[in-house]
Amino acid sequence: MKAFVFFKGRSIIFKEQGQILLLRLAQDLEEIGTVEQMPQLEGKRMIMFIQPKKN
């Protein structure tokens, strides 16, 4: 699964808040999946990959 936060306009100065949001999502989905790639900024999007856990 790919989760991302898109920063519009000057909101790019709040990168830390976007990272906190994605990490909180990963924590909420901890029982369903594991983080494959930690949040990283690509242009105006911060992207994080989560892989589902095997049953």
pLDDT digits (tens, 9 = 90+) for 15-42: 999 999 999 999 999 999 999 999 999 9
Q: How many domains does the chain have?
A: 1
Query: pTM for this one?
Result: 0.86
Mean model confidence pLDDT for the chain = 93
Around Cβ 42, how many Cβ atoms within 10 Å?
8
Banded pLDDT at 54 (limits 50, 70, 90): confident
User: Which structure tokens are listed for 25?
Assistant: 């999502």
Write the CB contacts of 25 (distance below 8 Å, at least 6 apart in sequence): 3, 48
Specify the CATH number for the domain of residue 8.
3.30.110.10
Answer whether 4's CB lies under 8 Å from 42's CB. Answer: no
As a whole number of angstroms, the distance between CA 48 and CA 53 comes to 16
* Run of H or E including 25: helix 15-28
Which residues face 6 on adjacent strands? 45
Domain encompassing residue 6: 2-52
